[in-house]
Amino acid sequence: MNRVLAETYPEAHCELDFDDAFQLLVVTVLSAQTTDRRVNAARPALFAAYPDPRSMAAAPREHLEQLVGPLGFFRQKTTSLLNLSAAIVDRFDGEVPGTLEELVTLPGVGRKTANVVLGNVFDVPGITVDTHFGRLVRRFGWTTETDPVKVEFAIGDLFPKKDWTMLSHHVIWHGRRRCMAKKPACGACPISQWCPSYGVDGPTDPIEAEKLVRTQGPA
Ligand code: SF4
């Protein structure tokens, strides 16, 4: 199934734009409860004003709130960015650390965010269990676990470590384009022959299913 997903989505990658580890950490935190598209739109102004942890830690709260305003939960997100930047400055001399153990000590950074940064910046394989990944691997019958950390370990047991980062991209990409939460495009799904959830939540008719497929840009 992973091989076919890789063939179907050869361009699969992290859909958040970033230039370095700090930017990816910040945009991943900002992506909670909103779309990657919105975060990508807010990114240029944010990092033009505060390109590194030191400048962001010293940012006036009101200005930061203005910049993250379009993403919702702006007070909470501003607090997260201020605390995160300050912790990187105070404890890691202004450099984003490159291990899971250190990353998860940063405020607002859980295993999901840490694995995104490890896999996409530090070339350390990581499984990113976001809402898409969890839903899909349960639909695929790869695990019955619902707790994200248990899902991460269960799927990690099924695949070689070197494949973890790209596996995450393929599964999440499929979740955004065909295997959506409400109405998956089962009749237009390249892995339907192996999927125990084929037709359970979505149409099996190829024409009806094809209309559900999302092909345009970041989800
Ligand atoms: S068959 Fe349906 S439920 Fe299974 S992976 Fe494909 S789109 Fe998702």
Does the pLDDT of residue 196 top 60, yes or no?
A: yes
Largest CA distance in the chain: 57
Residue 215 pLDDT class (50, 70, 90 cuts): confident
- Among the candidates 121, 154, 182, a domain finishes at 121
Do 88 and 168 belong to one domain? no
Residue 9 lies inside a defined structural domain of this protein:
no
Give every CB contact of residue 59 below 8 A, 6+ residues apart in sequence.
49, 50, 81, 82, 85
Ligand 1 centroid–CA 57 distance in Å is 44
CATH number, residue 106: 1.10.340.30
Tens of pLDDT, residues 36-81: 999 999 999 999 999 999 999 999 999 999 999 999 999 999 999 9
Q: How far is the CA of 182 from the centre of ligand 1 (A)?
A: 11
Tell which of 121, 147, 181 closes a domain: 121
157 part of the active site: no
One domain for residues 110 and 176: no
Distance CA 4, CA 21 (A): 30
The boundaries of the domain holding residue 117 are 21-121
What percent of the chain shows pLDDT beyond 90?
Answer: 96
Residue 14 marked as a ligand binder: no
pLDDT of residue 216: 59
Average pLDDT over residues 116-137: 95
Q: What is the pTM of this model?
A: 0.90
Residue 217's pLDDT band (cuts 50, 70, 90): low
SS3 214: coil
